[in-house]
Structure 1
Amino acid sequence: MESKRSKYVLISLTVFCILLIGLTSIRDTWLTPLRTGVGYVLIPVQSGVNSVGSAIYGEITDLSKLHSAQKENKEMKDIITQLTEENTRLQSEELELNRLRKLYGLDQQYGQYEKVGARVIANDSSNWFQVFRIDKGSKDGIAVNMNVMAGGGLVGIVTDVGANYATVRSIIDDSSRVSSMAMQSGDSCIVAGDLTLFKEGRLRITNVLKDSDLKNGDKIVTSNISSVFLPGLLVGYAADITNDSNNVTKSGYLVPAAEFDSLQEVLVITKLKSEMMKEETSQETTSAETQATESASQ
């Protein structure tokens, strides 16, 4: 009986295994087309999702890089702006230093005269410094008829004075007349202001005697006979000297030593020609009296 039961169990297990094998074969046969169909649907979707995800990630990465680049660009622009401002400041300081060096050289060249440095604070509406104002006035010892120099030569003369300012009429003004002479020969002449002519960078030289030795390139300085300009101040250089039609005098042009389109600092000579003339007269009187006393004692 027991052996018969074991036989049935064995048969039952054998049948169960065969059924399992059959079911497995049937499931694979049915599921394979299903898996294939699902693959056709899901794989493109998955590829699309992956592409969209990659694109979104790329956009986010590019956006992050763009923000970073914009930040760096702004920082570089700030640095460039700062360096540009610094460079401009240094160039301005260098130009100012060069101008002050020229003024210092001018001060040393005319060391016999006391001077006051001043800055140009305003000028007339023209392109040239025909009439301009400086930031020094009567409280600084400035007075009418004081001579003004800059850029290596004579600029003009003080015509009006306030407590804190003074007005200067330059030698290029149409009404300006400067009694001058050639440094080399001593021949006298008049330097006449002419704004129209100065557009060519020149002034006019007149009243030169025909027999004078004044020639092109001669230094023209203020003469001793001027009533307001101190003697020996460089005005400019003679050019194109020719005989006049009257066959009695010569005339020509003068290239000014100073630059009248960019005046910023000037030197004002605080000694007046009238004071100098009084001193010379006093010295001559004293000398004459001394000589008379010595003659009388003899």
Structure 2
Amino acid sequence: MIDRLERARQSGRKIWALLFVLLALFCIIFFAARGRFQVTASTGTVGTVLAPFEMAASFIGQQIQTVTANVWEIATVHEQNKMLKNEVEQLRQENTTAAEYAAENERLRELLAYKQGAHQFDLLAARVIGRDAELWTSTIVVDRGSKDGVRENMPVVTGKGLVGHVTEVGLVSSKVQLILDARSSVGTIIQRPESRVTGILTGTMDNPYMPQMVDIPRNADVEDGDAVVTSGFGGIYPKGIAVGHVAAQHSDDSGLLKVAVIETAVDFRRLEDVAIITASREAPPTPIQPTPLSPGAEAAAQISAAQTKAAAQ
């Protein structure tokens, strides 16, 4: 029993001695690696023994510093990359917004130029806020209503030409029937002075974006490229608003009349901003007057009328 205790004490002393030696070696290696411990010539043997440990400690220290620096650099680069991505996304959004503003300004400048050139009209700017999915080429909804003074049958235009007219009015919005609608009917006239042929513009289901000018005499003077404007007849559209130009011609089903296919001045696929004509100082077109009779013809007509009346009695 006593021997066993003695051996345990000796073993404990050996362990403590080993720990002391290891601690001393660690301290020597640590300070040597940091350059704070200089081995003299008189301790060359110790230097020789410790050299491998110093090299190992130096290598490990360098590797730890390298790994630490790399980890820090990776973290820094990752954070910078994240910031750059956010900046790129913000710039992309700003560019998109700027492009939208530029396009809107271009449309509004176009309307303003039209307003400055059309002094006979009072115009109310409006924005397209809806379209009927099933009747895409028939109606639109604008953000102006009765509170803005909008009433039914007011014409709607852009800076390029005729859009349609108001058919329904709400408090803050209105529905507009487009000239592309098959139910639409617009009095039109060929603008060329040598022609001045009149007709009716109406939409067609065959080509929704190309309305037709109908009721044109078969031998009427109409040429491809002729400009078409409103005639002023019908009581809704003032005279002289641009409609489009003749893109093609053909005879109607009866063969007695001509049909002119019109390419509209307005691009209805990109319709965003419009103007409502709230008042017009355009004089209505002069009604067609009967040809005046000569005095002799007028007297003969009166005698004929009197004879007809007497015979009836």
Mapped to 1, the partners of 2:46 and 2:81 lie a distance apart of: 54
The one of 155, 162, 179 aligned to 1:154: 162
Identity across matched positions, percent: 29
1:139 partnered with 2:154: no
Matched with 2:131 is 123
Matched with 1:241 is 249
Gaps of 5+ in 1: 1-30, 285-298
Matched with 2:202 is 192
Mapped to 1, the partners of 2:111 and 2:210 lie a distance apart of: 22
Query: Closer, same or farther in 2 for the Cα pair 1:125/1:187, shift >3 Å?
Result: same
RMSD over aligned CA atoms reads: 3.0
Higher helix proportion: 1
Query: Closer, same or farther in 2 for the Cα pair 1:96/1:126, shift >3 Å?
Result: farther
1:82 partnered with 2:90: yes
Mapped to 1, the partners of 2:270 and 2:249 lie a distance apart of: 28
SS at match of 2:268: coil
SS at match of 2:127: strand
Mapped to 2, the partners of 1:261 and 1:245 lie a distance apart of: 30
TM-score under structure 1 length normalisation: 0.72
Mapped to 1, the partners of 2:51 and 2:262 lie a distance apart of: 95
Q: How many residues align?
A: 244
The one of 172, 187, 196 aligned to 1:179: 187
Structure 1 stretch 231-240 or stretch 116-125: which is displaced more? 116-125
TM-score under structure 2 length normalisation: 0.69
Mapped to 1, the partners of 2:233 and 2:104 lie a distance apart of: 36
The one of 245, 251, 258 aligned to 2:266: 258
Matched with 2:172 is 164
Deviations 1:222-269 (A, max 9, x none): 113223222211111111113446442211311111121222221111
Matched with 1:56 is 64
1:94 partnered with 2:102: yes
**Contact 1:156/1:170, CA 8 A, preserved across alignment:** yes
Query: Closer, same or farther in 2 for the Cα pair 1:55/1:133, shift >3 Å?
Result: same
Mapped to 2, the partners of 1:97 and 1:73 lie a distance apart of: 36
Deviation at residue 220 of structure 1 after TM alignment: 0.9
SS at match of 1:191: strand
**Contact 2:127/2:272, CA 8 A, preserved across alignment:** yes
1:214 partnered with 2:210: no
Query: Closer, same or farther in 2 for the Cα pair 1:72/1:127, shift >3 Å?
Result: farther
Mapped to 1, the partners of 2:135 and 2:80 lie a distance apart of: 44
> For residue 229 of structure 2, what is the amino acid of its counterpart?
V
**Contact 1:151/1:259, CA 8 A, preserved across alignment:** no
